[in-house]
Structure 1
């Protein structure tokens, strides 16, 4: 489960309205209307919230844009929450759309519970926030995906060879076009990451179940009075204001942890160590502790963990300090060789 929280993009190149973001979330429906998506895929998905379904994009824009009282132009009027279940989590669902809607409504209860705030002397409730969510079923490979990054040296060489061929055809150079094309064909096949027999490139639709959730939540509460920012730098504290103790902050760690537990409880999901938010944090902050915990797992669970890590592109070296990254890579390679036998001989079909 990967969850990100990002503020509305502001600045000269971005609109003050939520219309652009909402329009982006409508792209999949537009592609369905135009027949641009493969036949047999999921049908149109509409916006929904805690109590209503089939909410129009126009209503979402109207409600979000109209709920930013007293916010400055430099302050985000809304936040975007993206929830991306893994393929293992998605396999646990019976009906992607309906199950993810049910999960979203439970997730947003975790969201409000992670605010260290009160409204009129009481804790924030689900009815105090204004949000709209949408399920999407398609994803494309981006330049930041590890498959694209690892395929990049091959992409660069292929582009150079295609440039040579074009120069020969246009009379700016001499050479053997057939020989160059054979080199291109060989590089296409040698690229480490393939999908359906083709080199994975940026913009290519990802195969398999890619269902995920987009949530747009207003910065102001439902009464358009109080500011509720999940981007607060304060975690959970109290501050003196006008002679009174005032609670403030949003605990992201608590939100991410509760989100996992809610999914597991809702769908009776047995989460592997490598899928946990705590494990991912340990990997980045202290790889030694991470791998020590990994080695304590039963053989089958450890085998699944390495499979999940490999599919996720772990280790994510750019995210780790140099000295720790070197340690992580050294330990990772040694442990992976030792666990490959367990992966191959496992009887649980991983």
Structure 2
């Protein structure tokens, strides 16, 4: 599940939303269908584009000219997730279920601000549009290597949802910025804009999909797994290796591994022992992973490598004095 928030895409978000609304109407124009895809939110399923623009553009009380007026939330299920929806609900049903899911994602968006009075999507001004297709851009490798042209439609099922959400809440009094990631470092600033954790929001959207649709996501299919592999520290990589072994188990141990991988990605644990102490509160058997010979060898080799690194660092510092 790919969930992304941007404050400037296709059209600037510091002025009218008209440009972005018009861009997201492209499939209705291209297909020239008698059954257009309407905008929707928690109240209605047949919202017209002019209503979207009017509502967003008039919900800007006390915002400066250079302030962002709205944000774009992209909710894009993977091919495997789309197949799961189609297999379980059919073509039409899958789209309806994805819309319901989008509303629940916006509930989580609201709650992520941790602001009094902002409890669900009903407290926001937002409008969503389901799109059936995606198109190649200059950033795609297929365009770069010349196998596809920019603007060419991508193959397969590409259904996804785009959401325009106002910077201000439904009362037009509270500023809400998902780009504020101070997380309490500046208390006054966080109080004004909310403490939005974008990583936690994405993780929550992933877990929500699994729960709502009984989707059996493997550990290596989680956002946290990919994040650790790409950006994780050496210690996080070691913790992930332990979790990969734990995920081979069944039942509660597998579920626990999927829960812990989010905490590893968020840097909660300093060491493997810290992680296993936490897991041991719920499942003593999970601790047996460390007793496996392969992990004893792995950890011994890791410790040796770390000692060599520290010796080299100490020698280097000694020579520089």
TM-score by length of 1: 0.62
Counterpart-to-counterpart distance in 2, 1:208 and 1:19: 30
Matched, 1:292 2:266: no
In the alignment, the residues of structure 1 paired with residue 242 and residue 140 of structure 2 have an alpha-carbon distance, to the nearest angstrom, of 27
User: 1:280 deviation in Å?
Assistant: 1.9
| Mapped partners of 2:188, 2:151: distance in 1 | 51
1:9 positional shift: 5.9
1:97: how far off?
Answer: 1.6
Q: Distance in 1 between matches of 2:102 and 2:195?
A: 22
CA distance in 1, matches of 2:115, 2:124: 13
Cα–Cα, structure 1 residues 55 and 246, in superposed 2: closer, same or farther, change >3 Å?
closer
- Equivalence for 1:203: 151
Partner residue, 1:128: 123
Aligned partner of 1:226 in structure 2 is: 174
2 CA distance for matches of 1:145 and 1:10? 17
Residue aligning to 2:55: 63
**Partners of 2:102 and 2:13 in 1: how far apart?**
28
Aligned to 1:115: 113
Q: What residue number does 1:82 align with? A: 74
The CA distance in 1 between the partners of 2:243 and 2:141, in whole Å, is 23
1:259 to 196, 199, 205: 205
SS of alignment partner, residue 215 of structure 1: strand
| Structure 2 counterpart of 1:103 | 101
Distance in 1 between residues matched to 2:52 and 2:20, nearest whole Å = 11
Of residues 88-97 and 102-111 in structure 1, the stretch that sits farther from structure 2 once superposed is 88-97
Distance in 2 of aligned mates of 1:114 and 1:238: 17
Counterparts of 1:176-255 in structure 2 under 5 Å? 199-236=147-184, 239=187, 248-255=194-201
Distance 1:274 1:202 in 2: 31
Residues 7 and 13 in structure 2, CA contact (< 8 A), matched pair in contact too: no
SS in 2 for 1:217: strand
Say if 1:234 and 1:248, in contact at 8 Å, map to a contact too.
Answer: no
Instruction: Say whether 1:143 aligns with 2:148.
Output: no
Contact residue 116 and residue 251 of structure 1 kept, 8 A: no
Equivalenced residues, count: 238
Report the Cα offset of residue 221 of structure 1.
0.5
Structure with greater helix percent? 2
Decide which of 216, 222, 233 is 1:270's aligned counterpart. Answer: 216
TM-score (norm 2): 0.67
Instruction: Quote how far apart the aligned CAs of 1:273 are.
Output: 2.1
Deviation of 1:96 (Å): 2.8
The 1:207/1:226 distance shift into structure 2, 3 A limit, reads same
Distance 1:90 1:99 in 2: 11
Q: Output the aligned Cα RMSD.
A: 2.8
For the 8 Å contact 1:10–1:76, the answer to whether it is kept is no
Match of 2:3 in 1: 3
Query: What SS is found at the alignment partner of 1:61?
Result: helix
Shift in CA distance, 216/240, structure 1 to aligned 2, threshold 3 Å: closer
- The whole-number CA distance in structure 2 between the counterparts of 1:88 and 1:76 is 35
State the SS of the aligned residue for 1:219. strand
Q: Which runs of 4+ in 1 moved over 6 A?
A: none
- Alignment partner, residue 26 of structure 2: 27
Say if 1:236 and 1:251, in contact at 8 Å, map to a contact too. Answer: no
**CA apart distance, 1:240:** 5.3
2:176, 2:193 within 8 Å by CA — same for their partners in 1? Answer: no
